[in-house]
Amino acid sequence: MSFEWIQIAWALLTLFIVINYGLIMTAVIQKIGARVGGRYGIPVWQNYIDLIKNFSLRSKIHHGVMFYLGPVFRLTGGIGLLLFVPTIYGSVMHQNFSYSGDLILALYFVFFGTLGMALGAGESGHPHAAIGVSRGLSQVTMAELPLALAVYSMTLQYGTLNITDIVAAQQGSIFNWTLFTNPLATTAAMIAFVGTMMRSPFDVVLAPQEIPIGPPTEYHSAYLALMQTNRVLYPIAKTVIFMNLFFGGATNWFEFAIKIFALYMVSVVVGVVHPRFRVEQSIGFFLKWGLPVGVLSILVV
């Protein structure tokens, strides 16, 4: 029993570190983007101020139970995804609950948050909510397809679904990373990665240039704070999955910070240089490029 409580304590510590890292990193990325555009940008502590302000607010507006469970499900997906994968390989403190699940469980958590948010948005009563739900689920489903093929190819290569074992097989040299041993699977997975990060050109759900609404407008007070917390946690949790599967994992927090920032910047750079896709363009992109590469990676293995 004491061992279980210790594991819970270490998992909460990991969650605390990752959330704070996400709050600072996303602010730094916003500041970099502002400087590129000739603006000063927000201070690095602005996300903390926003969270404290929103958690202190209360609202009497009621749209139904599922509407308010949406942010909860979304945050649960991010937390579950992070806690059931090893954050730091070889660390007893930061292996989290990776011994209780496998890669299939992690992939379920990837979709869980999106599905929960769709259920919440569907009960908002806003006439444009159905547009966002249909766009989001269509794109996420198509993005998951090359990822599923890449994961299948990789599991054939390593002969296991245990994430810790997959990371262990990549130790010893940078050339042991899946990036080098199975570049086709890595390419298919990175196509899915850019799509699931919901940045341009794949930000078809909020569509900021087209529809001036969305969850940040519909949700408010502490519910918006939950979404803001997940917005810094969930992308990093997904990035941890890709880091572990294709880029050798991390053996210390410094390596973790560098790899997560580098992978996160891939979606940021792609978003800066590409305009937003239309819905049919986004779906067609995954079918045209991600699907063939994923199938080819399985055939090669």
Dump the DSSP string for 185-214: HHHHHHHHHHHHTT-TTS-TTT-TTT-S-S
DSSP reduced 3-state for 79: helix
Contacts of 251 (CB under 8 A, 6+ apart): 88, 89, 90, 91, 171
Window from 109-123, 153-167, 173-187, 222-236 with minimum mean pLDDT: 109-123
pLDDT of residue 214: 55
Q: How many CA atoms lie within 13 A of 174 on its CB side?
A: 2
pLDDT tens digits for range 67-79:
778 788 888 888 8
Domain count, the chain: 1
CB 240 within 8 A of CB 96: no
Q: What is the spatial distance between Cα 178 and Cα 174, in angstroms, rounded to a whole number?
A: 9
Per-residue confidence band for 282, with pLDDT thresholds at 50, 70 and 90: confident
pTM of the predicted protein model: 0.87
> In terms of pLDDT, which residue wins out, 3 or 205?
205
pLDDT of residue 182: 92
In Å, what is the CA distance from 115 to each residue of 63, 76, 153, 192?
18, 11, 26, 17
Query: Chain-wide mean pLDDT for the chain?
Result: 83
Q: What is the spatial distance between Cα 18 and Cα 25, in angstroms, rounded to a whole number?
A: 10
Percent of the chain with pLDDT over 90: 21
pLDDT of residue 209: 53
pLDDT of residue 247: 93
pLDDT of residue 215: 57
Per-residue confidence band for 1, with pLDDT thresholds at 50, 70 and 90: very low
pLDDT of residue 54: 83
Is the pLDDT assigned to residue 266 strictly greater than 80?
Answer: yes
CB 161 within 8 A of CB 139: no
Q: What average pLDDT score do residues 232-247 get? A: 90
Domain that holds residue 265: 2-300
pLDDT of residue 2: 45
CB 284 within 8 A of CB 204: no
Count CB atoms within 10 A of the CB of residue 253.
Answer: 14
What is the DSSP track for 232-273?
HHHHHHHHHHHHHHHS---SSHHHHHHHHHHHHHHHHHHHHH
